Amino acid sequence: MMSVSARAGALSPYLQATKQTVKSLRSLAAKGLVSSAAPGGIRMAHTDIRIPDFTDYRRSEVTDPNQSSKESSEARKSFSYLVTGATTVLGVYAAKTVVTQFVSSMSASADVLALSQIEIKLGDIPEGKNMTFKWRGKPLFVRHRTEKEIATEAGVNIAELRDPQHDKDRVINPSWVIVLGVCTHLGCVPIANAGDYGGYYCPCHGSHYDASGRIRKGPAPLNLEVPFYEFPDEGTVIVG
């Protein structure tokens, strides 16, 4: 094995190359081929790297090396807070504008809102008759009931119904029944003033509804749907 002194005297390849270069330069200097000051004037790689100058990006208050930066720290902090606050306010306002426009774009247009309600003149519907209107792409049944129909539907035992619901819970004014003309079985359109109970009848699969729109016979599981409506006066109803 190599002795400790041998290992201590051994040089790395880099140092050996450097030592050899220095010897060569000294030999050339002795012969007068190069200046004896040449080794001291050798340019190293790290001396060629230019240090970047950030003076243009620095604030004028801190460019003077003879002046303490603490004297202008409060002013610089205030300016930073001002810029940060203004940027935050602008960002929040921009976000609010974007969200408002996005939500507005998802809202219903004016023509759609106009179709969301329908106003019906009740004086055009004679007693005992049913009229069909188109509302939101669906048939809407408005029925003017007779006194006999009102009494018959009010006297039905709700315990016998498939979808138990009293007549008074389905109407605001007993003389008027307002329901969607869509069968709750498969979405067919029933026929008014027909069926075993004198209300509505769906010929597609044989569902029978009474004059209150309640299912009484057939495969339909639920009563006809009652939409939201109100009477602004005795002769007008607004649905929707």
CA distance 21 to 29: 12
Is residue 237 within 8 A of residue 230, CB to CB? The reply is: yes
Q: Long-range pairs for 93-98 at CB < 8 Å and ≥24 separation?
A: none
CA distance 217 to 190: 13
Q: Which of 46, 144, 185, 205 is flagged as catalytic?
A: 205
Is residue 205 flagged as an active site residue?
yes
CA distance 90 to 162: 61
Handedness of CA 11, 12, 15, 20 (dihedral sign): positive
CA distances from 94 to 8, 60, 100, 203 (A): 70, 33, 10, 58
Active site residues: 205
